Amino acid sequence: MNLISTRSTNIAGTILILAMLLLQSCSLFKKQSFIIPEENTPREQFAVARDTEQRAKGSFDKSVRREEYNKAIAAYGAVISRFPSDLEYTPAAWLQRAELHYQFGSDNAKHYVDAIDGFRTAADKYSNQDDIRVASLWGLGRTYDQLARVPDSSSRKSYENQTKAQMAYKALIEEYTGHESPAIRALVAQARLRYRIVR
């Protein structure tokens, strides 16, 4: 009896040790939270965000890519929150973050709403920077246009979003027709086409 009791104790102890090792090893594979490095300049902080976005683009696994894009969205948010008065990298961070939300809008319409918020903020806050305002109005038009096509939208909501897309394209056309920049003129031409299609 003593031998059986000792053997049972050893087996129970071994199982307990194995269970503890298993739990410990599982904790090693938990997703680590993403810590955004705090850089000293807006340029360096933007570089962190851009690098994070580039890593996402290089991933073939959709779930890993989405996770990396979420990190990039957070990293662009760090530029915005840490350097709100910067006029070079912070406006670009607003645009990039909004563009990333736009890209995931087809997965979840909330991303379209977040994209609209980012594009609208950039368009209003940096209205004296033509390249930022143009890209923002273009982004607003595209995003409202896509949001109008979301299957869950009511026809009224769809109509409202189409109208908002038209308004963004129209503002882009009215404000920037004849601009000296060929890139801006090209977006104006595309906005004209989209304006006619959305109507």
**pLDDT value for 130:** 96
**pLDDT value for 58:** 83
Counting Cα atoms < 13 Å in the Cβ hemisphere of 57 gives 8
**Please, what is the average pLDDT of the chain?**
85
Neighbours of 134 (CB within 10 A): 23
- Strands annotated E in 46-170: none
23 pLDDT higher than 50: no
55 pLDDT higher than 80: yes
**pLDDT value for 85:** 96
Give the start-to-end residue ranges of the domains of the chain. 37-198
Distance of CA 190 to the CA centre of its chain: 23
Residue 190 token pair: 């595309």
Top CATH class of 37-198 equals mainly alpha
CA proximity to 99, closest of 129, 130, 140: 140
- What is the rounded CA–CA span in Å between residue 121 and residue 133? 10
Neighbours of 5 (CB within 10 A): 9
pLDDT tens-digit series, residues 59-76: 888 888 888 899 999 999
- What is the rounded CA–CA span in Å between residue 144 and residue 1? 78
Residue 108 token pair: 């979840």
Across the range 53-57, mean pLDDT stands at 88
15 pLDDT higher than 80: no
- What is the rounded CA–CA span in Å between residue 141 and residue 103? 14
More confident call, 15 vs 142: 142
**pLDDT value for 60:** 84
Across the range 87-95, mean pLDDT stands at 97
pLDDT tens-digit series, residues 160-191: 999 999 999 999 999 999 999 999 999 999 99
Q: Which residues contact 123 (CB under 8 A, 6 or more apart)?
A: 132, 133, 136, 137, 140
Cβ contact 175:127 at 8 Å: no
Model confidence, pTM: 0.78
